[in-house]
Amino acid sequence: MEKKLRWRVVGVEDKIERLITSLRSNHEIIPPENTRMIGNLNKWIEALVSIRNSIRNILTNLLPELERKFNSKLESPDMLLAVLFQPSVKNLFLELDTYYSDRTDSPISEAHLFDLMELHEAGKTLALVGDSALDLAVLPYVWESEVGKVGQLSSKRAEYVSNEHLADVCDRWGLFDYRIHFDPKTATKGDINHIKGTLVEAIFGILFLYNGLDAVSRTIPLLR
């Protein structure tokens, strides 16, 4: 059934590049006295270039490393990007949507701009899927055949999939530093661990959707 649970999100990097090109072209023809618009364009271009550079780093370094760890292809690189897009990026695309709403030269469709706005929501959903898949996949590793040891299942499961442990896994995999975000550095340790755990769950969500529960089960030893 997981083969039917897919998103058609294609070309995130291409959409970002089109926006950069469009904004730079508009910047060239803005009258110098329109300082407010020039400031906005500079701000948007700088943010988009930062996102583009992060995307290239993810696809060049993180993606092949994860595929090596899992011994499995992550068939949709754009889903990996969705995992790493954080909520703080949405405001950028909201501002761009407002900017292009009164213009006829938008480089991407309104629907595609909306896709970019919602990438972080896709990442949250992938984490939900991954959390559920992990619950099932970890069972063979913690199961006790003796009825008297049933009560130990929860504690043994937590050794694999507790938020604190998944945060440690996130650190081992270096996922946190690949986030695409504009968050200030004021989060508490608890908030950071929650983000880290969610990132790992979302990666397993991708693995489940594109490779099935067996693929998730095979990779449970990576959580030890």
What pLDDT was estimated at residue 213? 92
What pLDDT was estimated at residue 89? 96
**Span 43-65, mean pLDDT?**
97
Task: Say which CATH class 9-223 falls into.
Answer: mainly alpha
What pLDDT was estimated at residue 9? 65
What pLDDT was estimated at residue 210? 86
What pLDDT was estimated at residue 148? 52
What pLDDT was estimated at residue 1? 44
Does residue 141 carry a pLDDT above 90? Answer: no
Amino acid at 54: S
Task: Name the 3-class secondary structure at 69.
Answer: helix
Instruction: State the DSSP string of 94-160.
Output: HHHHHHHHT-S--SS-HHHHHHHHTHHHHHHHHHHHHHHHHHHHTHHHH--SSGGGGGGHHHHHHHH
Contacts of 86 (CB under 8 A, 6+ apart): 120, 179, 180, 181, 182, 183, 195
Amino acid at 33: E
d(CA 129, CA 51): 26
Does residue 206 carry a pLDDT above 70? Answer: yes
Report pLDDT digits (tens) over 63-122. Answer: 999 999 998 888 778 999 999 999 999 999 999 999 999 899 999 999 999 999 999 999
Amino acid at 65: E
Cα–Cα distances (Å) from 140 to 72, 134, 178, 218, in that order, read 21, 11, 32, 11
d(CA 35, CA 181): 26
Amino acid at 175: L
What pLDDT was estimated at residue 88? 94
Cα–Cα distances (Å) from 179 to 64, 87, 109, 139, in that order, read 16, 11, 25, 30
Confidence of residue 143 (pLDDT cuts 50, 70, 90): confident
Does residue 2 carry a pLDDT above 70? Answer: no
Confidence of residue 151 (pLDDT cuts 50, 70, 90): low
What tokens does 12 get? 């995130």
Does residue 4 carry a pLDDT above 80? Answer: no
Other CB atoms within 10 Å distance of the CB of residue 156 = 15
Report pLDDT digits (tens) over 164-205. Answer: 999 999 999 999 999 999 988 767 888 999 999 999 999 999
Report pLDDT digits (tens) over 5-42. Answer: 666 666 899 999 999 999 999 999 999 999 999 999 99
Instruction: State the DSSP code for 87.
Output: G
Instruction: Check if the beta carbon of residue 79 is closer than 8 Å to that of residue 7.
Output: yes
